[in-house]
Structure 1
Amino acid sequence: MRRTGTATSQCTYRTVSELHTIVAGLAFPECPRWHDGSLWFSDMHADQVIQVSASGKILQTLEVPGNPGGLGWLPDGQMLIVGMKSNLLYRLMDATLEVYADLGTVHTHQSNDMVVGDDGTAYIGNFGFDLMAGDPPQSTQLAQVAPGGAVSAGPSELSFPNGMVITDAGKTLVVAESWGNRLTAFSIAADGSLSQRRVWAELGKLIPDGICLDAEGCIWVSACANHACVRVREGGEVLESIDTGNLNPFACMLGGADGHTLFMCNAGSANPKQTLNERSGRIDCVQVSVPAAPGE
């Protein structure tokens, strides 16, 4: 069994044999969300957003051009979908995609994951450089989209801002900085703006991608180059580590009828030149002891 390098002696390790696959044959599953009793996720490189039941039955498939990324819902129930290559935020209206916001005013490269607050404010990360071309990493900033679609620049100097969660009853945003090997927190003001930047957890050699929040305020981190999904307490202590075998976890989400199912988006590669041919992507799940945070 792998050891992550940052876990303490208190860490509980679980093997890949405990995982249960509910969906297979995907290109590159990412950005999962548990919403109204089912799991939604983007199959990025296949240009699809897919809704499945907890058992893996496909309920619907939406075609979204230009690689769909982060998913979320406005307070009125309308779905938001990030168009990564187009730097557009779409709203699903009567089964039709319409442009809700232009992220290109803030994002210089591909837009990425997203979290939507209870008030409808959306926070979206982006690559900051051309990852697939092998360009050197560059710091970048979040885009903030107010209810109604107005776009403003959020905090800058972030190293590949990726998965995000909102915690502390809506008062704190936590961002996974993949190239920074850390989780970074910001205070959320009444107007949705972000300030008081601080390190939530240093992760050592772990590279965080997608993240999700549990009811004890701990964060599950998909360590996308470490073949493990780990549960981290604020401050950086790794409490649990789940081995994902020969696949890497790129995102995770708690859900299921009681919130105790950890769904993981696993794949053998993140390179779109390989993923569509290999179709190694799958949704794996495992039961965990602490359920999802309320509202997750």
Structure 2
Amino acid sequence: MADLIARPVDGPVTEHGEGPVWDADRQELLWVDLLAGRVHRALAGGGTLQSGGVVDVGGTVGAVLPARGGGWVLAADDGFAHLSADGSVRRLLDLSTEELGRTRMNDAACDPAGRLLAGTMAFDASPGSGSFYRVDLDGTVTRLLSGLTISNGIAFSPDGTVLYLVDSGPATIWAFDYDVDSGTLGSRRPLVVAEPGAGGPDGLCTDDEGCLWVAMWGGGQVRRYAPTGELLTAVDLPVSQPTSCCFAGADGRLLVISTSPLGLPERVHRQEPLAGRLFVADVGVTGPAATPYDGPLAGWTERPGTPLDMSCTDERGPAR
């Protein structure tokens, strides 16, 4: 297994950097400072990034994604919001199943059809408090999963038939069969359960070869896994808490990695002065840009339903 090295990017130092995505239409990178409630923008060129500004949203912002109808969709506080190009923010929906101040939105991504998928967690990461939601192309929001601990990275296989979802609580990457036509989850299996000492899986993305790139929180690496779960290679960082990653740039060849100093003891933080910065790496493969949300930007509603409870799990997978 050949290890790769990431290099830091000049730019803002975040309190808890998360969720980098590449917006192909605008040719820019977006990422969030989650607990500070900020959305950052940058341009890619020459194998690095140049800062493109910051928007203070307030509250907590777990994820930002481009919207086909203009601006960006945010997974923020206890629901969703729309960020316009002029910097104004408008709430789209507060989720009735989430509690402001107790739970918050975390990672989000769009499926190949343009539906929005997003997860939640408790501020104290209490087991079983997280959920997973789908926003359909008519603005209807459905809770698909309950009983997660820290719903984290979301990505798809190149053909869209497999959804990968991280639950950082049990340090597990789940693989679900996925129906792109309906947005429904099928059978599921634990693809990767992180070994002790490796850190825990956080955010992730997939490359054009169908492999997964996974930020290992506490492990100081971004790992590349085959769709079978085999560990192929790793990108080493000089900081211990990478949070997520994406492919960026016009050719999709630059792997961008967000990091965080959150919770580091003062002694460790002094040893990791670059924690909170973005890093980039040339990894020899390409990856897709973020799929924009393709639904309406008003009139969102919740649909009642019975989500699959993921809390009844063991190492063989969730109970049926």
Report TM bin, short chain: 0.7 to 0.9
Q: Which secondary structure does the structure 1 equivalent of 2:131 belong to?
A: coil
Change (3 A) 1:169 1:22: farther
Shift of 1:187: 2.5
Change (3 A) 1:203 1:233: farther
Higher helix share: 1
Q: Which secondary structure does the structure 1 equivalent of 2:35 belong to?
A: helix
Q: Report the counterpart of residue 285 of structure 2 in structure 1.
A: 290
The answer on 1:97 being equivalent to 2:89 is: yes
Q: Report the counterpart of residue 175 of structure 1 in structure 2.
A: 165
Shift of 1:139: 5.2
Q: Is the Cα–Cα contact under 8 Å of residues 171 and 193 in structure 2 kept in the other structure? A: yes
Alignment counterpart, residue 187 of structure 1, candidates 165, 177, 184: 177
- AA aligned to 2:134 is Q
- AA aligned to 1:105 is T
Change (3 A) 1:75 1:166: farther
Q: Is the Cα–Cα contact under 8 Å of residues 187 and 194 in structure 1 kept in the other structure? A: yes
Q: Report the counterpart of residue 213 of structure 2 in structure 1.
A: 220
State how far apart, in whole Å, the 1-side matches of 2:204 and 2:104 are. 19
Shift of 1:279: 8.7
Q: Is the Cα–Cα contact under 8 Å of residues 171 and 201 in structure 2 kept in the other structure? A: yes
Unpaired segments ≥5 residues, structure 1: 1-10
State how far apart, in whole Å, the 1-side matches of 2:42 and 2:234 are. 26
State how far apart, in whole Å, the 1-side matches of 2:211 and 2:42 are. 26
Change (3 A) 1:295 1:80: closer
State how far apart, in whole Å, the 1-side matches of 2:182 and 2:279 are. 38
State how far apart, in whole Å, the 2-side matches of 1:45 and 1:207 are. 20
Unpaired segments ≥5 residues, structure 2: 292-320
State how far apart, in whole Å, the 1-side matches of 2:168 and 2:92 are. 27
The answer on 1:113 being equivalent to 2:107 is: yes
- TM-score normalised by L of structure 1: 0.83
The answer on 1:203 being equivalent to 2:197 is: no
Q: Report the counterpart of residue 315 of structure 2 in structure 1.
A: none
Change (3 A) 1:269 1:92: closer
Q: Which secondary structure does the structure 1 equivalent of 2:11 belong to?
A: strand
Q: Which secondary structure does the structure 2 equivalent of 1:76 belong to?
A: coil
**Paired residues for 1:1-296 under 5 Å:** 11-15=1-5, 18-36=6-24, 37-54=27-44, 55-83=48-76, 86-95=77-86, 96-105=88-97, 109-127=103-121, 129-131=122-124, 136-138=126-128, 140-189=130-179, 190-205=181-196, 206-270=199-263, 280-293=275-288
Change (3 A) 1:279 1:27: farther
Q: Is the Cα–Cα contact under 8 Å of residues 29 and 42 in structure 1 kept in the other structure? A: yes
Q: Which consecutive segments of 4 or more residues in structure 1 shift more than 4 A?
A: none
Alpha-carbon displacement from aligned partner over 1:76-123 (angstroms, at most 9, x marks no partner): 34411111xx31211124532222222343577111010112433111
Q: Report the counterpart of residue 4 of structure 1 in structure 2.
A: none
- TM-score normalised by L of structure 2: 0.77
Shift of 1:155: 2.1
Shift of 1:178: 0.8
Change (3 A) 1:73 1:242: same
Q: Which secondary structure does the structure 2 equivalent of 1:196 belong to?
A: strand
| Mean Cα deviation higher: 170-179 or 207-216 | 170-179
Shift of 1:270: 4.7
Shift of 1:264: 0.9
Q: Is the Cα–Cα contact under 8 Å of residues 17 and 259 in structure 2 kept in the other structure? A: yes
Report the identity percentage: 23
